[in-house]
Every structure is written in C-alpha cells, then in structure tokens.
C-alpha cells in the first residue's frame, strides 16, 4: 500500500506561529496603542491564515490525500544521521568556542564535519580542509579584521606572530 505524506510537520509552522502570536500579544497588551498596533494586526492575520490552513489540512485528511504522522518528512537514514550529527557539531562549535578558543574549535569542527559527511576514508582530505579553513579564518577574522572572538593561549600566541 502506498504511503500517504504525513501532515504533522506541516502543522509545526502554523501552530508555532499562533503560539508566538499569543506570546507576542501577552507582552504588548499593556502597552500604548501605537506600540502594539502592528503586533495585533499581524497576529490576527496569522490566526486567520492558520485557520484557513487547518480547514485545508482537515479536508486533505478527510479525502485520504494525507495522513496524520511524519511520513515523507525524513529522508534516508544515512542522510538523516549525517544531518543530525552536523547539527550536533554546530551546537558544539558554538558551546565550545568560549572554552577551546578560535583556532582549535574551527579545526575540530571542520575536521569532524568532513568525516561525518564524507566518511572516515577521507581523513587526509578532512585534515587538509580543516587546516586550510582554520588558516584562512584566522587570517581573515583575527589578523585582518580583528573581530573579538573568544580566544585562548593558542590564539594569543598565534596572534603574536602577526600583530
């Protein structure tokens, strides 16, 4: 039997928008009219549009075009595993940068991301890409543009060679 596409993922944005609209209105309710007028109109528009969408979704379920569930949202397991791993690495990149500093975090992130997506057999390519990326990022962001990224002793030492 052919699987019908699931409706649940399509509901996340309208339901989330309504929830955000309610939260928005709760924060502006006590404010003067001019500070809340745009919020009121936009939240009302979101409610109306979502209502129309819900009716449409209801009809699609009723006619058997779609099912409750998440069918069709996720792709093949390998791609999904890679995608979630890259997301975890991205979160790790942000959390760890204040601890590990600029250079180490970028190298570790790019190296692991290449391995996660390309496979362990690309370990050499991963190392070269990570090294190249780290050098370019360091030269552009730290040496040339002097952005105040979190740095540690390694970054400070490297900076000392250039500045």
Partner 1 sequence: MEQFSTILGLFSYSLTYWWVMIPAILLGNLVGAIPGFSAANTIIILLPLTLSVDVEVALIFMMALYSASQLGNGIPAILVNIPGTGGAAATTLDGYPMAQKGQAQRALVYCFVASIFGGLIGTMFVLALLPVLSQVGNYLHSVEMVVIILFGLTLIAVIAAADMIKGLLAGMLGLLIGAIGTDFIYSEPRATFGMLELYSGVPLVPALIGLFAISEVFVLIERGRVLKDEYMDVVVSSKLYDVWVLVKEALRSWFLMTWTALIGVIIGIIPGAGASIAAFVAYQQARTFSKTPELFGTGVPEGVAAPEAANNGVTSGTLVPLMAIGVPGGSTAAIMMVVLQYHGVTLGPRLFIDSPELAYGIFTAAFITYLLMIPLMFPMAQYMSRVTTVPAFFLVPMILAFTLLGAFVPRAYMFDMGLAVAFGLLGYLARKTGYHVTAILIGIILGPLMEQYLMRALRISRGDVGILFSSNLGNILWLFLIITLLLPVYKSWQARKKQKEAV
What residue ranges bind partner 1 (CB under 8 A)? 9-10, 12-14, 17, 20-21, 23-24, 27-28, 31-39, 42-43, 45-46, 49-50, 52-53, 56, 73, 75-76, 79, 82-83, 86-87, 90-91, 93-94, 97-98, 106, 109-110, 113-114, 117-119, 122, 125, 129-130, 133, 137, 140-141, 144-150
- The alpha helices in the chain, defined as continuous H runs, are 8-28, 33-62, 77-100, 102-118, 123-137, 153-162
Give the residue from 153, 25, 62 showing the smallest Cα distance to 99.
153
Whichever of 1 and 99 has its CB closer to partner 1, that residue is: 99
User: What does DSSP assign to residue 3?
Assistant: P
Whichever of 21 and 158 has its CB closer to partner 1, that residue is: 21
User: What does DSSP assign to residue 4?
Assistant: P
**Burial (CB count <10 Å: 0-12, 13-18, 19+), residue 142:** buried
The least distance separating partner 1 from the CB of residue 29, rounded to whole angstroms, comes to 10
Q: Which residues of 97-114 are buried (b: 16+ CB within 10 A; e: fewer)?
A: beebbbbbbbbbbbbbbb
The least distance separating partner 1 from the CB of residue 96, rounded to whole angstroms, comes to 11
The least distance separating partner 1 from the CB of residue 42, rounded to whole angstroms, comes to 5
Whichever of 1 and 30 has its CB closer to partner 1, that residue is: 30
């Amino acid at each position: 039997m052919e699987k019908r596409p699931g409706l649940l993922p399509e509901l996340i944005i309208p339901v989330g928008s309504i929830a955000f609209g309610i939260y928005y209105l709760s924060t502006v309710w006590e404010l003067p009219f001019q500070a809340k007028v745009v919020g009121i109109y936009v939240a009302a528009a979101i409610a109306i549009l979502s209502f129309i969408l819900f009716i449409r979704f209801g009809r699609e379920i009723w006619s058997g075009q779609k099912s409750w569930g998440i069918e069709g949202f996720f792709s093949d397991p390998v791609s999904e595993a890679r995608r979630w791993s890259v997301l975890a690495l991205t979160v790790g990149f942000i959390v760890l940068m204040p601890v590990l500093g600029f250079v180490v975090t970028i190298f570790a992130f790019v190296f692991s991301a290449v391995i996660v997506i390309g496979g362990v057999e690309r370990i050499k390519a991963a190392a070269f890409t990570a090294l190249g990326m780290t050098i370019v990022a360091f030269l552009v962001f730290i040496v040339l543009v002097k952005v105040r990224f979190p740095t540690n002793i390694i970054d400070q030492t490297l900076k000392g060679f250039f500045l």
